[in-house]
Amino acid sequence: MGNVVSLSISADNLNQCWNSTCGNVQYVYDFEKNLSDLSEALEELKQHRNDVNTKVELAERRYMKRTETVQGWLTRVSDIEDEVNGLLSDCSKGTQSRCWGCFYRNCGSRYNLGKKVFEKIDEVRSLKTSGQFDEVATKQVPPLVDVRPTGSRPVGLQATFGRVWSCLEKEHVGIIGLYGMGGVGKTTLLDQINNALSGSTFGFDHVIYAVVSRNPSIEQIQAEIGRKIGLSDDLWKEKSQEEKRIDICNSLRSKKFVLLLDDVWERFDVQKVGIPVPDEHDESKILFTTRLEMVCGYMDAQEKIRVECLGWDDAWDLFKKKVGEDTINSDAKIPRLAEVLAKECGGLPLALITIGRAMSCKRTPEEWNYAIDVVRRTAAQFSGIGDEVFPRLKLSYDNLPGPCYKSCFLYCSLFPEDFPINKNELVDYFISEGFLEDFDDINDAQNQVYHLVGTLVNACLLEEVEKYIVRMHDMIRDMALWIASDCGMVKDKYLVHARSKLSEAPVDKKWQSVERVSLMDNSIEKLTGKPSCPNLLTLFLNRNQLKMISDGFFESMHALRVLNLSRNNNLTDLPSEIFDLVKLEYLDLSETSIKTLPDSFKQLKLLKCLNLSYMKKLEKIPKNVIRSFSMLLVLRMFACGSSDQLVEESVLSGGNEDLVEELGFLEDLKSLSITLSSVNALQKFLKSDRLQGCTRELTLQFCQHSVSLDILSLGTMKALDTLDISNCRKLEKLMLREGQEIIGHECFQNLRILNIKDCSRLEDLTWLVYVPNLEILMVQKCNRLEAIIQSQEGRRAFQVGENFNPFSSLTTLVLWNLPELKSIFGSALPFPCLREIRVNYCPKLKKLPFNSQTSKSRIYEIEGAEEWWNALEWDDEDTRTTFLPFFKTREAKGPTRWRRRIG
């Protein structure tokens, strides 16, 4: 018998086994249905995921941050999507065969797939159910610094960047102002500072950047500040401006912050938006940029930093970078031409970048020569200049306080590029052009002009070279001429060819509708033709080589108000119709060789400013001509007239005694420059308080027989700016009358320039202790002069002690041909303003009044013979070493050039 096996299975076990078998069969039996359910569930999950993503993106556009829960859920959805897609792919391969034989052979595989499909359905549906969110994002904490897009650190601004950075480190500097002309790189610099703060160790809680511009919006600036400090929810946005101001203040007053404000045009009260003003007790900072230096004062800046145009090396590097090395090196001639074109930009980054980019594809010398010609002739026509550079620069012009300031700015474009514009010369022009308000005296007019010019300097439209000299940047000048041509629309208001190497004037047709013409500083020898220009107001012909002006040239200039013919040394005659210019208010004939002014000269009844200075060949001004100019305000006759060939009919004869008499009829005269060549002329002059009160320049060259001169008789001339005492060969003393009581603050208060020449018997100039504001002193050809100031006599005369400090305002000292001069002053002086000393043939001057306490901060040149310098005696070697770098040896020249340069 075979073996018998007995199985005993309980009912429960049998039921459980049956259910399991049925379930396993169900994975296989419902396989197709489960696949469909899984696909449907996945599609529903993806749709829900897309809805959630849309909500997240909308929230992130409002600078919110998605929650970690949402991010985790989205990650799980992405993972399960990959898993289901893989499973569906496997299932697709397993269901390609449907025969029962295959079914039994692959039963295990099909079972496993069916089970996974069944389980994934629940997992997918469960994940969708868990993705129901009340909020998908929360308010995001902004980064400390919003990095602004910039390139590499801007060329040439590294030094300025370092200065600003050091100010951020200073404890007691809370407000810092960056100012400079448009296009110089202020915003670029501010962006670089902003970005650098992201990695700094200053420990700021907040770095806030806002653009102010003109007509700033308080609401927009508050919104930007609120976003940076976490006050940007919907509830805060609904608050009033005042409520936001309080919230911002409460949030920041206990924090260390830096506020960066770009493009400030006027005082911006940061407290209006809620910013607490930094003081010396906290470490917060406010840094702003502006085109206007005065805004730095309005904003209470403790540090003012001017952003300058680039020096040549940096300008050239920037220009080459924008042009590209391939273009620069494409032709052997291009590097030199590129340097010429780069220099036309005057170091202005905006112009260097614009022109550099425009030339990046120009690979022939002809194209570069043409570009140079266009920039020099009409820069606005160069690609990018007229539509990009000039409009940005013009914002400073548009922001000027009124039309008078704009007129004065445009007027300065009549001068050549880089020309030193003397503020005092502008006084005469602006008086005649009608730019000034009513004024009582010349000081009032001068104050107005200095205010106008100062405003232009503060707006970075002019550059102050020194105290009395300004200049206009080349690109600013080109922009001014562009404005004068109605921004390129009309090209006939200004005709300017100053310093353009002209040998003849432009053709007549260019003059037809112009208002102002400047042909100054050229090589024009003849003016011919009859230009038709009935609208012409201003004509600059000075600094040429004029020999002849043809009859009829001025014939149609009926509206002409300003005519400058000065510094035409070869001009000996004037055409007769010049005296028919009855609307003329300004006439400058200085430094011409004209010998006679005709009686018809008196027809110029409206003259307000007449300059006849340095007309050294002038022999005749008919009597009763000068007195006929009843409206004359300014008369300059400094060093006027030939001393050898004056005719008796001339008002210049007799040492100008008749001239002084005629001047007495000019009741409106406010500024006088005059030469007196006789004792009688001086005595008559001193009897007129009005003439003394308006005299600004005075030359005394009459003392051929006088041994002494009471210098105090000139001390109360309140307007006296320049005094020239020359050719007084018997004059031994410039002295005070016996018994005179001297009050220092009443003497020579405005005397700025003193020139003493050919006074061979003078021994000292101790009276200079009464000239407190002297800036320029020139002493020439005084053979017996031993000391400028005898120190002991000077102290006694001034009745002061050891703190006696003459020459406290002196900037320039010229000593020329003084063979006996031993001392400038007996002891060392501080010279706080001294800039230059020029010494020639003063062999006995063995010691300069310098010691270790003498100011070195302003001195830039000590000029003299090398033998003289080597023989100088010093208190110690350290003092000599200190001043040695300022010494320069140059060929000896007469001092006349100094008078012209500084006058």
> What is the overall mean pLDDT for the chain?
86
Q: What is the mean pLDDT of residues 171-176?
A: 90
Query: At 3, is the pLDDT very low, low, confident or very high (cuts 50, 70, 90)?
Result: very low
More reliable by pLDDT, 232 or 516: 516
Residue 441 has pLDDT above 80, yes or no: yes
**Cα 552–chain centre separation:** 44
- The pLDDT value recorded for residue 795 is 52
Q: What is the mean pLDDT of residues 517-535?
A: 94
Q: What is the mean pLDDT of residues 360-368?
A: 95
Taking only the tens place, the pLDDT of each residue in 236-248 is 888 899 999 999 9
Identify whether the C-beta of residue 283 lies closer than 8 Å to the C-beta of residue 172: no
- The pLDDT value recorded for residue 44 is 84
Superfamily holding 158-306: P-loop containing nucleotide triphosphate hydrolases (3.40.50.300)
- The pLDDT value recorded for residue 510 is 81
Query: At 6, is the pLDDT very low, low, confident or very high (cuts 50, 70, 90)?
Result: very low
Residue 382 has pLDDT above 80, yes or no: yes
Query: What is the C-alpha to C-alpha distance for residues 139 and 639, in angstroms, rounded to an integer?
Result: 81
Query: What is the C-alpha to C-alpha distance for residues 704 and 690, in angstroms, rounded to an integer?
Result: 27
Taking only the tens place, the pLDDT of each residue in 724-747 is 998 887 777 776 554 455 555 568
Residue 427 has pLDDT above 90, yes or no: yes
**3-class secondary structure per residue, 202-213:** CCCCEEEEEECC
Query: What is the C-alpha to C-alpha distance for residues 553 and 560, in angstroms, rounded to an integer?
Result: 13
In a 3-state reduction of DSSP, which class is residue 112? helix
Query: At 794, is the pLDDT very low, low, confident or very high (cuts 50, 70, 90)?
Result: low
Identify whether the C-beta of residue 606 lies closer than 8 Å to the C-beta of residue 629: no
Which residues, at least 6 apart from 438, have a Cβ–Cβ distance to it below 8 Å?
none
700 φ, ψ (degrees, to nearest 5): -115, 115
Give the least confident one: 384-393, 793-802, 841-850, 874-883: 793-802
Which residues, at least 6 apart from 222, have a Cβ–Cβ distance to it below 8 Å?
241, 244, 245, 248, 273, 274
Residue 18 has pLDDT above 60, yes or no: no
405 φ, ψ (degrees, to nearest 5): -65, -40
Q: What is the mean pLDDT of residues 358-385?
A: 92
The helix (run of H) or strand (run of E) holding residue 539 is: strand 538-540
**462: closest CA among 454, 393, 177, 310?**
454
How many Cβ atoms from other residues are within 10 Å of residue 260's Cβ? 22
Identify whether the C-beta of residue 785 lies closer than 8 Å to the C-beta of residue 809: no
Query: What is the C-alpha to C-alpha distance for residues 794 and 683, in angstroms, rounded to an integer?
Result: 28
Residue 801 has pLDDT above 90, yes or no: no
Residue 21 has pLDDT above 50, yes or no: no
Identify whether the C-beta of residue 429 lies closer than 8 Å to the C-beta of residue 410: no
Which residues, at least 6 apart from 401, have a Cβ–Cβ distance to it below 8 Å?
455
Residue 421 has pLDDT above 80, yes or no: yes
Query: What is the C-alpha to C-alpha distance for residues 480 and 597, in angstroms, rounded to an integer?
Result: 37
Query: At 294, is the pLDDT very low, low, confident or very high (cuts 50, 70, 90)?
Result: very high
The helix (run of H) or strand (run of E) holding residue 40 is: helix 31-61
- The pLDDT value recorded for residue 230 is 82
Give the least confident one: 22-36, 108-122, 373-387, 817-831: 22-36
Place of tokens 């389980």: 119
Query: What is the C-alpha to C-alpha distance for residues 537 and 583, in angstroms, rounded to an integer?
Result: 9
More reliable by pLDDT, 547 or 680: 547
How many Cβ atoms from other residues are within 10 Å of residue 313's Cβ? 10
Query: At 318, is the pLDDT very low, low, confident or very high (cuts 50, 70, 90)?
Result: very high
- The pLDDT value recorded for residue 488 is 67
**323: closest CA among 341, 311, 308, 346?**
341
Query: What is the C-alpha to C-alpha distance for residues 563 and 545, in angstroms, rounded to an integer?
Result: 16
Q: Is the dihedral angle over the CA atoms 717, 721, 723, 724 positive or is it negative? A: negative
More reliable by pLDDT, 768 or 799: 768
Query: What is the C-alpha to C-alpha distance for residues 514 and 843, in angstroms, rounded to an integer?
Result: 58
- The pLDDT value recorded for residue 1 is 43
Query: What is the C-alpha to C-alpha distance for residues 483 and 213, in angstroms, rounded to an integer?
Result: 22
450 φ, ψ (degrees, to nearest 5): -65, -35
The helix (run of H) or strand (run of E) holding residue 601 is: none
Identify whether the C-beta of residue 698 lies closer than 8 Å to the C-beta of residue 674: yes
Q: What is the mean pLDDT of residues 847-866?
A: 89
Q: Return the structure tokens found at 902.
A: 């500084």
Q: What is the mean pLDDT of residues 398-424?
A: 95
- The pLDDT value recorded for residue 214 is 84
- The pLDDT value recorded for residue 103 is 43
Q: Order of strands across the sheet with 463-466?
A: 421-422, 469-471, 463-466
- The pLDDT value recorded for residue 29 is 65
In a 3-state reduction of DSSP, which class is residue 711? helix
Taking only the tens place, the pLDDT of each residue in 55-76 is 888 887 776 778 888 888 989 8
Tell the CATH topology of 492-594.
Answer: 3.80.10
Residue 898 has pLDDT above 50, yes or no: no
Q: Write down the number of H helices and E strands in the chain.
A: 28, 30
Does domain 388-491 match CATH 1.10.1760? no
**237: closest CA among 222, 253, 252?**
222
Max CA-CA distance within the chain? 177
Q: What is the mean pLDDT of residues 172-195?
A: 93
Taking only the tens place, the pLDDT of each residue in 601-655 is 999 999 999 999 999 999 899 999 999 999 999 999 998 986 566 666 788 887 8
Q: What is the mean pLDDT of residues 672-700?
A: 91
- The pLDDT value recorded for residue 574 is 93
Query: What is the C-alpha to C-alpha distance for residues 853 and 868, in angstroms, rounded to an integer?
Result: 23
Q: What is the mean pLDDT of residues 854-879?
A: 90
Q: What is the mean pLDDT of residues 268-279?
A: 91
The shares of helix, strand and coil residues in the chain, as percent rounded to the nearest 5, are 40, 15, 45
Identify whether the C-beta of residue 615 lies closer than 8 Å to the C-beta of residue 652: no
**3-class secondary structure per residue, 463-492:** EEEECCEEECCHHHHHHHHHHHCCCCCCCC
Identify whether the C-beta of residue 610 lies closer than 8 Å to the C-beta of residue 636: yes
